[in-house]
Structure 1
Amino acid sequence: MKIMQVTHSFPPYTFAGTEVYAYALAVELSKRHRVSVVFRVNQPHEKEYALSVNNRGDFATYSINRTFNTCDSFGQTYDDHIVSAIGGRLLDEVNPDVVHIQHLLFLSIGIIKEAWKRRIPVVFTLNDYWLMCHKGQLIKNDFKVCQGYTIDGCRVCLEAQLSITKYSIFFYNLLRRHLPVQLTQFVKSLYILFARKTFLSQRKSSTLILKRYASMQAITSRIDYFVAPSQFIKKKFIAFGFPQEKIFFFSYGIKHRSVSPGDKTYSPNLRIGYIGTLIPTKGVSILISAFRKIIKKNIRLSIYGKLAPYAGYEAYYRQIIKSARDERIAFMGQFDNSKIFDILRSIDILVVPSLWLENSPLVIHEAFISKTPVIASRIGGIPELICDGMNGLLFNPGDADDLSEKIKQVMENPEILACMRRNMPAIKSIEENAMEMLEVYKKASMNCGTV
């Protein structure tokens, strides 16, 4: 079978959960099938929309350079006719039996249209809420969970994106590179105010939001099947109007390795770890605040991850660095996911302090394989993975006091860790997951009459 995966990014450019999973699935599927991967890169010094072809050994990759410097509207951020046309040419060249979309952020929903025109079946993994929420995480600007789509709510949340005009993103990126953060934010706020007073009326904002909603509704009707990695996200999309019979629930598969509790490196300190992207919705600031409430010296916090741009919060990284002025806290920077188990060996507890409705964080699956207990927010699909008090602990999202108490609980009762390590659940292998996906691909192909 010829399988084309499409995703918003891919290793080695980024190592967030969706990208890591897409890579693992591509490697596994390529053992018996012809696999290609299409993804977006952001190379400011390369030509916009330049297409690069590479051979990763077992599968081919096609990267589309999209910096958004020439983006001239909100609509072009999710439906770009040039990206769609490139996707169409790649579909003709590769001629896949199925297209599996992991994410279309930074790309274009038109890729689905191009597949539909060629009668190529499409499978879409619901890695987040992008099909119903432009930001993908169903969270408001004040980091409160969004309860669902409303025009007024989206208008407030997306004001900066709705204000996009030709070259506005180019100049914004220029300001970010050359001006202090506060000045960049000030100029940006002036521009949004100017937009509100001139060309971006409430009526126009509403029209743009409704157009995206209608576009997503239309495009999802052309997707053969969806895959939900958590029951939580499956229920969310059903409540949003997606047909239940078209959504399969499959938890993520992970590349396994043999690990025992004895593989942990030794330290006299309790070692707390955060592994993930450094954006506000991941709650790193909550973890730092909770950690600093603990005055004991025999505890360490290691923060692994890369700063990622997050609209409206340009000063976030500097803020968390400032808040983490504590000799017990170390920022470890970006890491290669191939080293994930080495990192997990070096910590005693992983903390996942997310503020958004997480789907099924890949890092929790990886932690369980490495026999590393997890303290995590009681939010989204996370409670499906963590049985409170058995293989980890749950705390109230955004509550630094509650998180601090959970960490203290472990410090005062260290035997809890050994007990939790014995209660780690079985984690699906990527081999098992690939077999599940192949069954969905075949089912989609039969529906399209391509097999």
Structure 2
Amino acid sequence: MHVLVVHNRYSSAQPSGENNVVDQEVELLRAAGHRVGVFERRSDDIAARSLPAKAAVPLLVPFNPAVRSELAARLRAERPDVVHIHNVFPLLSPAVLTACADAGVPAVATLHNYNQICPPGTLQRDGRPCTECVGSAPLPAVRHGCYRGSRLATVPLAVSLSANRRRWWSGVERFFCISAAQREVLVRAGMPAGRLAVKHNFVPDPDARRTGPGEHVLYLGRLAETKGVRLLMAAWDELAADGGVGVPLVIAGAGPLEQEVAAWAAGREDVRYVGLYDPEQCREVIARSVAVVAPSTWLEAFGLVVVEAMAAGVPVVAAGHGAFVELVEDGVTGLLHRPGEAGSLASRLRGITADPVRNQEMGRASRSRYERGFSPAVGLERLVEGYRAAIAGRPAGGEAPPATGKTSTGSRWGHRASRNGG
């Protein structure tokens, strides 16, 4: 199969699970003998642009005509069987969909978040769930400055969501949801169930697996409010006041709360902030963990760190909502805490560290769960199945679906589209 992957890479200054997923899928397909090309832009490149070119970037978020021309020419020249779209913000834009229609090549798109119904893609505002823009014009997002706390920065996303909903609906044969929990939210929000398929992210089998009881509790990820970092600090302080759990907390990552985390950890023996780790260091620190903690306050669409812990045979303490409920079997592969409650998180952290025998049983169950559902072999099978379904869904001759939004199977769409703020 000949696949062209389309992706706008996120800034290298922040860890990006989405970038990792794209790279791993490309490598997986190539290793299986498929021909894979990449059409990409990099957000890092914006810094090197002239001042006028930087100022023009927001204007191109809803539609970048140069990208349409360049991608359409490449598609006509290479004739791939399918185009796989990931992130298009800010440099690619939904113009990639028009390019696919121009060249008559079917497209699939992975939904890594909730960007089809929420401008910043989080369904959250001020640390709480928010659905104000779902099913309506995204004016509330602009009013609240939901993307990076800025009304001005939110405008291009809101315009793109409003202007491109029909382009998304008519231009994508199949959307990949990365969890059943995400799919359920999107279907309830009005997206057509028939084009939403669940395809979990896979995780490469790590070189390092846990062999003993572990040395620490680990938080690995972006240091942001939505990831539950402040909640974790409050829960750990509660544990420390009660004598601790016998192992330190290691926090690895970067993000807007980095200085706050570093100041909180400074001078403490029960907390170590280690900054941003490279992939090999991440695998090693996971394998040395008593447990990995994922206390996100927003509805995670997946949770790569949870599955990475499973692959290493390490149990997880995670928030009991979103995809975590689907990934973690409470009491078997880990423990779930009540979302947003520091006391509940502290209780689960105490529980998973208190009984080493039970902890190791959970670790073995986690590894088994990984092998059944998130291994490269499973990931490849589901990926190729999705491509074949998308190709089969095209009308004879490879023509694009009608611009009215009527699909090749005769169903009709009509809701929203947008983008995540990367």
Q: 1:291 aligns with which of 236, 245, 256?
A: 236
Partner of 2:141: 154
Aligned partners of 1:369 and 1:427 also within 8 Å? no
- Cα displacement string for residues 395-418 of structure 1 (whole angstroms, at most 9, x for unaligned residues): 122222211121122343333312
Match of 1:427 in 2: 373
Q: Following superposition of structure 1 onto structure 2, how do residues 394-405 of structure 1 map, counting pairs within 5 Å?
A: 394-405=336-347
1:280 partnered with 2:203 = no
Alignment partners' CA distance in 2, 1:348 and 1:155: 43
C-alpha distance 260-163 of structure 1, shift in aligned 2 (>3 A): closer
Segment drifting more, 110-119 vs 34-43:
34-43
Q: How many Å apart are 1:259 and its aligned residue? A: 6.5
| Equivalent residues in 2 for 1:51-70, closer than 5 Å | 69-70=54-55
Q: 1:256 is matched with which residue?
A: 205
Q: How far apart in 1 are the matches of 2:80 and 2:196?
A: 22
| 1:53 corresponding residue in structure 2 | none
Aligned residue number for residue 143 of structure 1: 127
The structure, 1 or 2, with the larger RCO (C-alpha pairs under 8 Å, 6+ apart) is 2
Return 77-86 or 131-140, whichever deviates more.
77-86
The corresponding residue for 1:16 is 16
Are the counterparts in 2 of residues 10 and 22 from structure 1 also a CA contact under 8 Å? no
8 Å contact 1:5–1:100 — kept in the other structure? yes
1:240 maps onto 2:229 in alignment: no
One-letter amino acid of the counterpart of residue 6, structure 1: V
State the superposition RMSD in angstroms. Answer: 3.0
1-structure distance, mates of 2:68, 2:144:
27
Q: State the partner residue of 2:262.
A: 321
d(CA) in 2 for partners of 1:216, 1:156:
21
Alignment gaps of 5+ in structure 1: 49-65, 166-204, 308-313
Give 1:87's match in structure 2, choosing from 71, 74, 98: 71
Query: 1:29 and 1:413 mapped to 2: Cα distance?
Result: 41
Q: 2:97 aligns with which of 105, 108, 112?
A: 112
Query: Any conservation in 2 of the 1:29–1:434 contact (CA below 8 Å)?
Result: yes
Among all aligned residue pairs of Structure 1 and Structure 2, give the percentage whose two residues are the same amino acid. Answer: 22
Change (3 A) 1:383 1:435: same
Matched, 1:300 2:248: yes
Q: Tell me, in whole angstroms, the C-alpha distance in 1 between the residues paired with 2:106 and 2:194.
A: 16
Code of the aligned partner of 2:227: K
One-letter code aligned to 1:390? V
- Distance in 2, Cα, partners of 1:232 & 1:135: 19
**Equivalent of residue 444 in structure 1, options 390, 400, 403:** 390
2:152 to 163, 172, 175: 163
Call closer, same or farther: CA 1:116–1:24 in 2, change over 3 Å.
same
Task: Report if the CA contact (8 A) 2:210-2:312 is conserved.
Answer: yes
Amino acid at match of 1:230: S
Structure 1 residues 197-219: Cα deviation after superposition (integer angstroms, max 9, x where no partner): xxxxxxxx7x9947632422432
| Distance in 1 between residues matched to 2:11 and 2:37, nearest whole Å | 14
Give how far 1:392 is off.
0.7
Q: Indicate the larger mover: 345-354 or 5-14.
A: 5-14
Partner of 1:361: 303
Shift of the 208–45 alpha-carbon distance from structure 1 to 2, 3 Å rule, reads closer
Please say if residues 3 and 34 of structure 2, whose CA atoms lie closer than 8 Å, have aligned partners that are also in contact.
yes
Deviation at 1:338, TM superposition (A): 4.2
C-alpha separation between the residues in 2 aligned to 1:20 and 1:208? 24
Select 2:283's aligned residue among 341, 344, 347.
Answer: 341
Contact 1:368/1:427, CA 8 A, preserved across alignment: no
Instruction: Describe the superposition over 1:162-184 as per-residue Cα deviations: whole angstroms up to 9, x where unpaired.
Output: 4259xxxxxxxxxxxxxxxxxxx
Distance in 2, matches of 1:390 and 1:305, equals: 27
**In 2, Cα distance between equivalents of 1:11 and 1:157:** 24
Shift of the 86–355 alpha-carbon distance from structure 1 to 2, 3 Å rule, reads farther
CA contact (8 A) 2:261 2:273 kept: no
- Mapped partners of 1:411, 1:419: distance in 2: 13
- Of 229-238 and 317-326, more deviation after overlay is shown by 317-326
Q: Is the 8 A contact 1:43 1:67 kept in 2?
A: no
Taking the aligned partners of 1:266 and 1:390, their CA distance within structure 2 comes to 18
Q: Who is 2:415 aligned against?
A: none
Structure 1 counterpart SS, 2:200: coil
Q: How many angstroms apart in 1 are the aligned matches of 2:195 and 2:385?
A: 14
SS in 1 for 2:129: coil
Partner Cα separation in structure 2 for residue 88 and residue 67 of structure 1? 26
CA distance change for structure 1 residues 289 and 35 in 2, over 3 Å: closer, same or farther?
Answer: same
Partner of 2:40: 39
Number of equivalent positions? 381
Shift of 1:9: 1.7
The answer (yes or no) to whether the contact 1:162–1:208 under 8 Å persists in 2 is: no
In the aligned structure 2, how far is the partner of 1:365 from the partner of 1:429? 10
SS at match of 1:350: strand
Q: Distance in 2 between matches of 1:162 and 1:397?
A: 29
Counterpart contact for 1:11–1:19, Cα < 8 Å: no
| TM superposition score normalised by structure 1 | 0.76
Counterpart for residue 418 of structure 2: none
8 Å CA contact 1:6, 1:38 repeated in 2: yes
Which amino acid letter does the alignment assign opposite residue 144 of structure 1? R
* Distance change (3 Å), C-alpha of 1:377 and 1:266: closer
Question: How far apart, in 2, do the equivalents of 1:67 and 1:38 lie?
Answer: 25
Letter in 2 for 1:138: L
The aligned runs of 1:411-426 (5 Å cut-off) are: 411-424=353-366, 425=369, 426=372
* Residues 10 and 39, structure 1, Cα contact 8 Å, conserved in 2: no
In the alignment, is the contact (CA less than 8 A) between 1:44 and 1:67 conserved in 2? no
Corresponding residue SS for 1:218: helix
- Aligned equivalents of 2:47 and 2:111: distance in 1? 32
